[in-house]
Amino acid sequence: MKLTNRLLITFGASSLALALLSGCALTKDYCSLSYAPQTNVARIKGAEAVKVKIELADRRTIKDKVSVKKNGYGMEMADIISKEDVGVTVKNALVTELTNRGFSPAGGDVLVLAELSKFYNDFKIGFFTGDAVAEVSMNIQVKRNDGSITFSKIVNGNGVNKNVMLASGSNAKVALEAALVDAVAKLFEDVSFTEALLKSAASPKNGT
């Protein structure tokens, strides 16, 4: 009898977890993305003299889809759509961090080209709860006005929203925003990135 009761309790708990994770799995959901700037950022000496043009190329096949709902068995269901243009969100994050360090993102002889290849959250379904696991990937290049490349790096950011009860847009949002923060932080932690901006601006123009 005790064993039967345990099985019933376990079955009931797992059924509840599956139902919670599924939610309205057949209905599209939406999330509104934002970027939280880094705090206590120091301005870089000489950055005020560097005018930077920032361009973002969104290489993703599908632009608005940032995740997908899953039912309690891990089967993909309805799409989760970003209310904002993801490319604009990423570009604005770069503009913010460059500005906070003293650079002038008003267009100039130095180009920062960001090619976005991934901006996606995947729900990992567990027994009682699940995790929202997001990844942001982009290739960053710094170019002089003559087209020569002074910096090139693929930057990957990761974000996790643990123990979620719903595979929803709001839970995907937390992981996606964390992944964007992580990717941008890794870029600006690389001293060679900001050094490339300074050197590119100081290099001779058009071979003169």
Q: Which CATH class is domain 2-202?
A: alpha beta
End-to-end CA distance of the chain: 90
Give the separation between CA 99 and CA 73, rounded to whole angstroms: 45
Regions of the chain where pLDDT drops below 50: 1-22, 206-208
Residue 207 pLDDT:
44
Q: pLDDT tens across 46-97, in order?
A: 999 999 999 999 999 999 999 999 988 889 999 999 999 999 999 999 999 9
Give the separation between CA 125 and CA 163, rounded to whole angstroms: 10
Reading the block at residue 111, the tokens are 């180009």
Q: Which residues contact 202 (CB under 8 A, 6 or more apart)?
A: none
Residue 184 pLDDT:
98
pTM of the model: 0.86
Residue 25 pLDDT:
72
Give the separation between CA 97 and CA 37, rounded to whole angstroms: 7
Residue 82 pLDDT:
98
Domain boundaries, the chain: 2-202
The residue among 83, 138, 151 whose CA lies nearest residue 111 is: 151
